[in-house]
Structure 1
Amino acid sequence: MSRRSTLTTALVSGALAAGIALGASTVLPAGASPAPAPAATPASTSATAAHPAHPAHPAHPGDRAPRVTVIGTGGTIAGLAETRDALQTYRAGQVPIADLVGALQPELGAVAQVGTVQFGNAGSSGYTIEQFRELTLAVDAALETSDGVVVTTGTDTMEEFAYWLDLTVRSDKPVVLTGSMRPSNVIGADGPANLFNAVRLAASGDTTCFGTVVMLNDEFHAAREVTKTDALRVDTFDGGQFGALGVVDEARVTTRRAPARAELCGTREWATPFDVSTVEAADLPRVEIAYSYQEAGGEAIAAFAAAGVEGVVTAGTGAGGISPAMREARTAAIERGVVFGASTRTGSGAVYDGEVPEPGVIGMEDLLPQKARLLLLLSLAFSDDEAQVRAWVDGLGSPEFA
């Protein structure tokens, strides 16, 4: 309670009225690396219906309830408002994840044995790439003993959290990200239902080998495709031209399609080459984004190159074209060793703006710039061979069914 002593009595009373216990919380200081994830603490051991078998993961021994670890990083889902009608004015990252899970008992205990890990408690935009690496290690550690993991985050950069985990987590067990658009103690809070459904989805095993998925508003989406489309509405997340992977309706999980990587389930090729446990945080390169628009200047690219960045993703117009000034600056930066990824502001469509591949420029098909940045960053972290980086970007950035 001490870390929230400045909150008003009305705020605390409102939170308790909403069924949330205000307890101690581990908060990740800005710029600091989180401590190694502690072992998950079971919140419930209630039995549940038989967990459906998956070819790569047999049914649970003795028909035990699935084990799901919920890793909290903060965000709006852990936020508190000063009044119950302040749906959009609040402080994010205030409530411990154990309290959010505890408020869903005893009903959640009928779905899974749930443990919690407090990774951090901050807004999603406050996390660094170094902390992203630590989060991957925490997720993989939890999956050694759990059947699935749910990660709660803020929604502002949730799609980046999701795509990073999709590219780096080594286990093919379900990883589900969720959050909310409204704080935990307001009228109409969407967090409790989102968290409950995320645990149900992870426990179902339906997304085994799907990589990371995002679950909000009763829908789940592939990490590579999902994006936030509205700053306020609860139906903000969208799966682009291919739509949602499926829906969660009470006890029923309906899966309508799968990401292409699911075809590799059970093979060594399923996991990406990006095992972040084998690289130090200091070796993760700096990659930036340069946005193109009418008469865009090249100064941003020149400044990035002068600052020593290893990669730049251009958010191009149309099919990925950039302004003449940006093109000139890009050519100069390539001569200094900077590698470029060519993406488009639309997030889909052909993205290379030249007739033939230009050395130092890699087309990044159907990836939003913020996701293209993560793929280029990881590719450069694991290889300085442009041909290898290009092969990874082509194969992982635009996967297809065989």
Structure 2
Amino acid sequence: MTVVVRNMLMKRMLIPLLVLSLIAVTIGVLAASNLAGAAEAAPLPKFDIPAVSAAHKSSPLPNVIVVATGGTLAGAARDGDKTNFQNYAAGTYEMKDLVAQLPVHKTADVSTYQFGNKGSGGYTIKELYDLSLAVDAALAIYDGAVVTTGTDTMEEIAYFLDLTVRSEKPVVVTGAMRPWDVIGTDGPANLYQAIKVAGSNKTKWFGTVVMLNDVIFAAREVTKTNSHRMDTFDAPMFGALGYVDDPAVRIYRAPARAAKAGTPEWKSPFDLKTISKDSLPIVEIAYNYQEAGGGAIRGFVEDGAKGIVTAGTGAGGISSKMSAARKDAIDNHGVVFVSTTRTGSGTIYDSGSGNTIGGDNLNAAHARMMLLLSLAFTNDVHTIRDWFTTYGTQDVEVSVDSETVLTTSDEAVTKELVTTR
């Protein structure tokens, strides 16, 4: 009798414990499932991209959409002073009204989408995430896109688009150095010519290009070089891709990325549809100068920076104090650094190891965008380095024929025989 009673008591105790265990496991599975679902199914923004009109569908001309973000191009002179080039309100006019003021375009049918209307420096990285997705949404319908922005951070916005837009169709970024309604404004001509470039389809597979003052540049290479002049944009090491004349769009060289046209390698690793905008990390730039202190780096780390680009002197050099702060940031906080030069041009080669990556010939602003997106997709430094030294570097490799490949190296351009047996 004693054994039977004991067994009955044990069963009565075990059954509730088993039930509680099953409930706990179920709750845990459900919670994990919900977390995974939240990470995998981040809600994507929706965009009210206008449909191609019936008239444009029946037209033989390409359909180009202008995605407007504001900037000087959409600016209005203050107090109605048409001779005041510097005192104006950026992002005043809507793009549909500006396009309506242009002559009817000879080479494209034009539609507009007003994404925003403010200065380029007023956009957050999260808003650039939305802008990139909006451009891709527009290119699912249209043959090409023009993105208008302010010129202050145009090179950063353009390179962000270059790294993230998935469509191979033309993306042309343009803006103006003078507001729309002053005498001698460059805005209308830049807008008209950018539409011409996008409609020509000559920059398909180029990624994002920048066109102002009738000159076409690769987004990766271009930088603003003067605070006021209309010919401010340049690509110091590389020069222009081509030019816009009347009526021609002339392309004289292609960015290295175009050599990968039609292959999986053409697209960057940065598909924004697979991540949440909340996963975009803080990445900063620290500028080196004579006896520069380490306070900027320490402050950035304290603010939560996951990556820091150093704009060094000469071939990327930084002061001893900055170097000490960098070492502490790496050793104790796992911060990833990219080394660039403040000189305006030149290559910083990668050492191949550690948490400091050579930025090749990216300037600090471009390198920041590359590092920011890299850290949004991985924490593995080896992978980030691989992205910087391949996609970020954009070295040339062109297939010549079935037995010869033309490649580049650090030393020279060589021809390598490829064994086909």
The TM-score by the shorter chain falls in which range? Answer: 0.7 to 0.9
Q: Are the counterparts in 2 of residues 215 and 221 from structure 1 also a CA contact under 8 Å?
A: yes
- Pair 223,321 (structure 1): closer, same or farther in 2 beyond 3 Å: same
Asked whether 1:339 is paired with 2:336, we answer: yes
Shift of 1:351: 2.0
Residues 20-61 of structure 1 show CA distances to partners (whole Å, capped at 9, x for unaligned) of xxxxxxxxxxxxxx9732122668947xxxxxxxxxxxxxx9
| Distance in 2 between residues matched to 1:260 and 1:91, nearest whole Å | 38
Partner of 1:97: 95
Asked whether 1:159 is paired with 2:169, we answer: no
Q: Are the counterparts in 2 of residues 274 and 378 from structure 1 also a CA contact under 8 Å?
A: yes
Among candidates 212, 218, 223, match of residue 227 of structure 1: 223
- Residue correspondence of structure 1 range 63-142 to structure 2 within 5 A: 64-81=60-77, 82-106=80-104, 108=105, 110-142=106-138
Residue type matched to 2:94 in 1? P
Residues 125-173 of structure 1 show CA distances to partners (whole Å, capped at 9, x for unaligned) of 0000000000000000000011100000000000001100000000010
Asked whether 1:262 is paired with 2:272, we answer: no
> Which contiguous aligned blocks of 4+ residues in structure 1 show a shift greater than 4 angstroms?
41-46
Among candidates 37, 44, 67, match of residue 47 of structure 2: 37
Shift of 1:358: 5.0
| Distance in 1 between residues matched to 2:295 and 2:112, nearest whole Å | 46
Normalising by structure 1, what TM-score? 0.84
- Residue correspondence of structure 1 range 1-400 to structure 2 within 5 A: 36-40=46-50, 45=55, 64-81=60-77, 82-106=80-104, 108=105, 110-335=106-331, 336-351=333-348, 356-400=351-395
Q: Secondary structure at the match of 1:263?
A: helix
Residue type matched to 2:101 in 1? A
Q: Secondary structure at the match of 1:65?
A: coil
How many residues align? The count is: 351
Residue type matched to 1:386 in 2? V
Q: Secondary structure at the match of 1:197?
A: helix
Partner of 1:16: none
Q: Secondary structure at the match of 2:305?
A: coil
Residues 82-130 of structure 1 show CA distances to partners (whole Å, capped at 9, x for unaligned) of 2111112111000001011111142x1x321111000000000000000
| Distance in 2 between residues matched to 1:43 and 1:177, nearest whole Å | 24
Q: Are the counterparts in 2 of residues 321 and 351 from structure 1 also a CA contact under 8 Å?
A: no
Q: Secondary structure at the match of 1:121?
A: strand
| Distance in 1 between residues matched to 2:353 and 2:320, nearest whole Å | 15
Unpaired segments of 5 or more residues in structure 1? 1-33, 47-60
Residue type matched to 1:217 in 2? N
| Distance in 1 between residues matched to 2:171 and 2:64, nearest whole Å | 10
Q: Percent identity over the alignment?
A: 54
Unpaired segments of 5 or more residues in structure 2? 1-43, 398-421
Mark the structure with the bigger radius of gyration. Answer: 2
Normalising by structure 2, what TM-score? 0.81
Partner of 2:28: none
Residue type matched to 1:99 in 2? D
Residue type matched to 1:286 in 2? I
- Pair 44,113 (structure 1): closer, same or farther in 2 beyond 3 Å: farther
Residues 162-221 of structure 1 show CA distances to partners (whole Å, capped at 9, x for unaligned) of 100000000010000001000011111100000000000000000000000000001010
Shift of 1:267: 1.0
Residues 308-331 of structure 1 show CA distances to partners (whole Å, capped at 9, x for unaligned) of 210000011000010000000000
Residue type matched to 1:36 in 2? K
- Pair 358,332 (structure 1): closer, same or farther in 2 beyond 3 Å: farther
Shift of 1:259: 0.1
Decide which structure has greater helix share: 2
Higher relative contact order, structure no. (Cα contacts within 8 Å, ≥ 6 residues apart): 1
